[in-house]
Amino acid sequence: NAGVTQTPKFQVLKTGQSMTLQCAQDMNHEYMSWYRQDPGMGLRLIHYSVGAGITDQGEVPNGYNVSRSTTEDFPLRLLSAAPSQTSVYFCASTPLGGNYEQYFGPGTRLTVT
């Protein structure tokens, strides 16, 4: 199993540009989520999904869209990038039941200039 994969690993955007951060998991996990991590702020939940076709907002959803058309994929879209969205983005998946253990991807480091 590859686990949770994220692409790209690094990205530089100009203010106003849009892009999609990709996240995929091959563990057949029901739950997936997106976090951003900023120095001094810790990890903050952006959006999450409890299954295909179902998404919901987390703590900091503004400026981001998500969709979950398949169990495997959970892309995060930045509609119009702003410097405040400069951050490291982590995708995570969680199996149904058990320890609710979150499996994190390696992260995407995004810089918006």
Partner 1 sequence: SQKIEQNSEALNIQEGKTATLTCNYTNYSPAYLQWYRQDPGRGPVFLLLIRENEKEKRKERLKVTFDTTLKQSLFHITASQPADSATYLCALDMYSGGGADGLTFGKGTHLIIQP
Q: Which residues bind partner 1 (CB under 8 A)?
A: 4, 30-31, 33, 35, 40-45, 48, 50, 56, 58-59, 90, 92, 94-96, 99-107
Residue 53 carries which DSSP code?
T
To partner 1, the closest distance from the beta carbon of 85 in angstroms equals 19
Looking at the DSSP assignment, which residues form a beta bridge with residue 12?
A: 111
Nearer to partner 1, 16 or 77 (CB): 77
The residue (of 41 and 79) whose beta carbon lies closer to partner 1 is 41
- CA of 34: how far to CAs of 21, 84, 113, in Å? 10, 17, 22
Question: Residue 82 CB, nearest distance to partner 1 (Å)?
Answer: 23
Supply the minimum distance, in Å, between the C-beta of residue 55 and partner 1: 10
Closer to partner 1 at the Cβ: 14 or 40?
40
* DSSP sequence for 84-102: GG-EEEEEEEE-SSTT-PP
CB atoms under 10 Å from CB of 69, counted, come to 10
- In angstroms, the CA 95 to CA 28 distance is 8
Closer CB to partner 1, residue 63 or residue 95? 95
